[in-house]
Amino acid sequence: MSEPLAYLNGQLIPARRAAIAVYDAGFVLGSTVTEQLRTFGGRLFRLGDHLTRLAHSLDIAGLEPRESMADLADIADRIVAKNVLLEDPGDDLGLCIFITPGTYAAMAEGAQVGPTVCLHTYRLPFEFWADRYEQGVALRTTEIQQVPRTCWPAELKCRSRMHYYLADRLAAQAEPGSRALLLDEDGFVCETSTTNVAAFFHDTGVVSPRPEKVLPGISLQVAEELASDFGIGWSHRDFRPDELTRADEVFVTSTPNCILPVTRLNGRPIGAGRPGPVFTRFLAAWNKLVGVDVAAQASRFAKRPAKTRLSAFELGETSDDALSDPLTGLPNRRLFQRRLEQAIYRAGGSAKYFAVLFIDLDRFKEVNDRYGHLSGDKLLVAAARRLAESIRPQDIVARRDGDEFTVLLDDLHRPEDAVGVAQRIVDHFRAPLAIQTDAADTPTQRLEFAASISIGIAVGSGADAPLTVDQMISRADTAMYQAKSRGGGKYVVLDAIQR
């Protein structure tokens, strides 16, 4: 595979196929827990620390993904190991982990399939900060404050950050290129929209805001460790913006750019208005720690050309042709199996049910034999259309092969719900299908064909032993043949696993 991988809800897939439903609570409510990491020399930095912080955020949000922290660590390493090979030598990647509560029931017909879990990489946008190592960062205070702890604790790393957006927007309006410095309701310094803040004073050392008021930054933790190596003291306390302007040096820390100097606050210079010797010392130590000259790397890749999307020929497939049936336009067996894998994963450990319906047209061979394969194809198209009209919007019907179709019923509250859908399909096929015949020895004519169907149903749930796609389809196939042996126009139900 010559394109990046991503992980979504139990599957490693091409990144271009990682799609989240618009009714996911992460979009509707902004209720997304996240972590941002990066690589140095192609290896993730402080993965364990990031996952510890992620676990704490999940606890605060009450989210319980199926994946353990060990699982996420393994997935992260696997994705990075693959995707970094697609980049130029010396380049590095960002890794995003985000987890949402899953579907927002009010917009998804009550569907509840558990948390959405996604990991994906991205090319680090070095152009955003490459020149800041020498020019420094400008900060400005605005009327937008830090979210108080009565809304959510500062240590929750999430994407509910409209105040970041508004504050940065106001700061840039006042001074193009500047970033917002957020204060709490008492006027004390907290953090910027994406970085921690610290100030250096020759007589007292480094000071940063009290930990309970800010996101516990991994990069800030690294800076504190380096300060200890230097013999520089570090304290945490409240301070106001005017104290920052009196500092000898101010710097900000974050995962993508490690550490950057702050050279202006509200239009006034910090220290000499340029990066100072303590910042330079921190940066040199950081380079040694990670084995990369981070400023030189940012400068080198700041103007790299944008990646060209791979063509269908280069990928060896197209998203449409590879996943849809060319005759009926329905999803094909490949896409169906992928969706079934996702359904099995989502059901894991839950009380929800899902089902596979294996469907076969009764006496289809008679149409082919009497009227020819072109008429048979028309009958299949008509049958596909009727099947699509018979299922729920959230379900999927696919053409498997010949006159065989499969239906995936996801997120069922009771096993009996699958029977209700099967009965509806059987009822819909009591009316004949109308096609135009193309037999060589007869003139074209409209034929109404009584195409009854046989349906086999396999029901599974998260309470079952580990399921596989093949098990579910095999059981449904067996049930279908039992239904056909009873004369057709019927359905038979089997559990996914024989007990």
Cα torsion angle, 412, 413, 416, 420, sign:
negative
Cα 398 to the chain's mean position, in Å? 25
All CATH 3.30.70.270 domain ranges of the chain, comma separated, are 333-495
| Residues of the chain falling short of pLDDT 70 | 1-2, 109-112, 306-322, 345-346, 348-351, 393-394, 437-445, 465-466, 495-499
What's the per-residue H, E or C state across the chain? CCCCEEEECCEEEEHHHCCCCCCEHHHHCCCCEEEEEEEECCEECCHHHHHHHHHHHHHHHCCCCCCCHHHHHHHHHHHHHHHHHHCCCCCCEEEEEEEECCECHHHCCCCCCCCEEEEEEEECCHHHCCCHHHHCEEEEECCCCCCCCCCCCCCCCECCCHHHHHHHHHHHHHCCCCEEEEECCCCCEEEECCCEEEEEECCCEEEECCHHHCCCCHHHHHHHHHHHHHCCCEEECCCCHHHHHCCCEEEEEECCCEEEEEEEECCEECCCCCCCHHHHHHHHHHHHHHCCCHHHHHHHHCCCCCCCCCCHHHHCCCCCCCCECCCCCCECHHHHHHHHHHHHHHHCCCCCEEEEEEEEECCHHHHHHHHCHHHHHHHHHHHHHHHHHHCCCCCEEEEEECCEEEEEEEEECCCHHHHHHHHHHHHHCCCCEEEECCCCCCCCCEEEECCCEEEEEEEEECCCCCCCHHHHHHHHHHHHHHHHHCCCCCEEEEECCCC
313-371 pLDDT, tens digit per residue, is 333 444 445 677 888 888 888 888 877 887 786 676 566 788 999 999 988 887 777 77
For residue 444, what pLDDT is reported? 59
Superfamily of domain 125-301: D-amino Acid Aminotransferase, subunit A, domain 2 (3.20.10.10)
pLDDT at residue 226, as a whole number: 97
The CA distances from residue 186 to 183, 241, 418, in Å, are: 8, 12, 58
pTM score of the predicted model:
0.63
In terms of Cβ atoms closer than 10 Å to its own Cβ (0-12, 13-18, 19+), residue 73 is middle
What is the location of CATH 3.30.470.10 in the chain? Answer: 1-124
Give the torsion sign (CA, 203, 267, 275, 252): positive
Q: Which residues contact 383 (CB under 8 A, 6 or more apart)?
A: 361, 403, 405, 429, 433, 451, 453
CATH topology of domain 1-124: D-amino Acid Aminotransferase; Chain A, domain 1 (3.30.470)
Within 8 A by CB and 6+ apart from 106, the residues are none
- The per-residue pLDDT for 308 is 45
pLDDT in the model for residue 353: 86
Task: Please give the class, per CATH, of domain 333-495.
Answer: alpha beta
Q: What is the pLDDT of residue 205?
A: 97
**Alpha-carbon dihedral 265, 271, 273, 274, rounded to 10 degrees:** -120
How many other C-beta atoms lie within 10 A of the C-beta of residue 29? 12
Rounded Cα distance, 157 and 58, in Å: 9
Q: Which of 473, 161, 467, 91 is nearest to 307 (CA)?
A: 91
Q: pLDDT digit string (tens) for 8-17? A: 999 898 998 8
